[in-house]
Amino acid sequence: MTPDRAPTAAESSSSSSVVAKLSTLDRFLAAWILLAMGLGLGLGRLLPGLDDALARVEIGGISLPIAVGLLIMMYPVLAKVRYDRLDAVTGNRRLMLSSLVINWIVGPALMFALAWVFLPDLPEYRTGLIVVGLARCIAMVIIWNGLACGDREAAAVLIALNSVFQVVFFGFLGWFYLDLLPGWLGLGEGEALHIPMWKIAVNVAVFLGIPLVAGFLARRIGEKKLGRKSYEATFLPRIGPWALYGLLFTIVILFALQGKTITSQPLDVARIALPLLAYFAVMWFGTFALGKAIGLNYERTTNLAFTAAGNNFELAIAVAIATFGVTSGQALPGVAGPLIEVPVLVALVYVSLAWRKKFATTAQQHPGHMTAGQSM
């Protein structure tokens, strides 16, 4: 691991001008995302049968339009990872252990508590919210991390690590928080998740495995044919903007699929939004503070915070639908979740960039980092 150090004057100046260097696409990213959300909601509401038509384009419960969007979104980012530098990340025990504790102990426990505090009278929504808390983020987090200039290699390692834990522990934690713990605490009769491990593994393989393999092969083959310098100077800038195109496409599809449901139940969505907002705030700000407290540099603190705050809503929706049904109240928190998460995490990208200069770390762009815009 490269030791942290104090930034030079030139590096501090670079940090303060990150936003000024963004392309037009990135400078107005928040606006594009809001437009994509609005377009998806409008299409889902105004075009009868569109959500059903999109939902039918699936294999094994995996939405093909969403899978394509995530592949387009993640491939350019993962093609930028220097896979020969991953050893420096895996050797950082503070980062790895902190991520596991936050994602698999703190996160689910916090969502469980918030669900019971905010939704004591709505058991179906409460159950759906707890399921969301168990589905740790493995896809969009890499975009938020990249836009906030986090460590690219560290992000890849943390996402892969949490994906393995998601496959192994999702079912157990579902039983613990939905069935066992409520009984222990005298909160009433629990519920059970009937979701086989192989379905979770398929979800992880599609939403992370395919783009990860594609990015790895692009790096290996590209460097072999072009050399590292030419690969990074010519090939990566050409594919970079497609990460944001894929993000916007995915957002449109997600909201088109669920637009009618969200717009027809606005008060219920508002009730669900409150614990989600509290969750994102506590997880992101708390983890950001933790990263700084344990001596991580800015780039890896950013990795830690966005990995902790994000959720895998695709998995949460799939689990809720498979267990409780497509029209169930348990499915609504997963459906409405991206409506809250996307704009909140975009806002936190700007908060993160504003705090960047406060860290004792290099603020100059280097190959292990990713700026928004041109480098995406």
Partners of residue 63 on adjacent β-strands: 58
Is the pLDDT at 186 greater than 60? The verdict is yes
State phi, psi for 58 to the nearest 5 degrees. -150, 160
- The whole-model pTM stands at 0.76
- Interstrand relation of 148-151 and 369-371 (parallel, antiparallel or unpaired): antiparallel
Q: In terms of pLDDT, which residue wins out, 43 or 279?
A: 279
Task: Residue 192: give the domain boundaries.
Answer: 21-357+367-375
Is the pLDDT at 86 greater than 90? The verdict is no
Contact between 250 and 73 (Cβ < 8 Å): yes
Count of structural domains, the chain: 1
**Which token pair is 178?**
């939905």
Q: What is the pLDDT of residue 187?
A: 81
Q: What is the pLDDT of residue 18?
A: 47
Instruction: List the single range of 28-37, 158-167, 190-199 with lowest mean pLDDT.
Output: 190-199
Neighbours of 121 (CB within 10 A): 8
Neighbours of 252 (CB within 10 A): 23
- Chain length of the chain: 376
Residue 293 lies in a domain: yes
Q: What's the chain's average pLDDT?
A: 79
Residue 301 lies in a domain: yes
Q: pLDDT of 87-138, one tens digit each?
A: 767 678 889 899 999 999 999 999 999 999 999 888 889 999 999 999 887 7
Residue 212 lies in a domain: yes
CATH of the domain at 81: 1.20.1530.20
- Interstrand relation of 58-59 and 148-151 (parallel, antiparallel or unpaired): unpaired
Q: What is the pLDDT of residue 23?
A: 58
Identify the CA nearest to 161 among candidates 99, 119, 248. Answer: 99
**Angle of helix 298-309 relative to helix 332-355, nearest 10 degrees?**
170
Alpha-carbon distances of 365 from 66, 94, 238, 297, rounded to whole Å: 31, 24, 19, 14
Q: pLDDT of 2-43, one tens digit each?
A: 344 444 444 444 444 444 555 566 667 778 888 988 898 888
Interior/surface letters 189-226, b for 16+ CB within 10 angstroms, e for the rest: ebbebebeeebbbbbbbbbbbebbebbeebbeebbeee
Residue 257 lies in a domain: yes
Is the pLDDT at 371 greater than 70? The verdict is no
Residue 96 lies in a domain: yes
Q: What is the pLDDT of residue 336?
A: 81
Residue 218 lies in a domain: yes
Partners of residue 136 on adjacent β-strands: 311
Contact between 150 and 302 (Cβ < 8 Å): yes
Is the pLDDT at 286 greater than 90? The verdict is yes
How large is the C-alpha radius of gyration of the chain? Answer: 20
Q: What is the pLDDT of residue 192?
A: 64
Three-state SS letters, 273-300: HHHHHHHHHHHHHHHHHHHHHCCCCHHH
Instruction: List the single range of 27-31, 81-85, 160-164 with lowest mean pLDDT.
Output: 27-31
- pLDDT band (50, 70, 90) for residue 374: very low
Q: What is the pLDDT of residue 341?
A: 87
Residue 323 lies in a domain: yes
Is the pLDDT at 370 greater than 60? The verdict is no
Contact between 132 and 313 (Cβ < 8 Å): yes
CA distance 70 to 35: 18
Residue 15 lies in a domain: no
Instruction: List the single range of 58-72, 91-105, 117-131, 221-235 with lowest mean pLDDT.
Output: 58-72
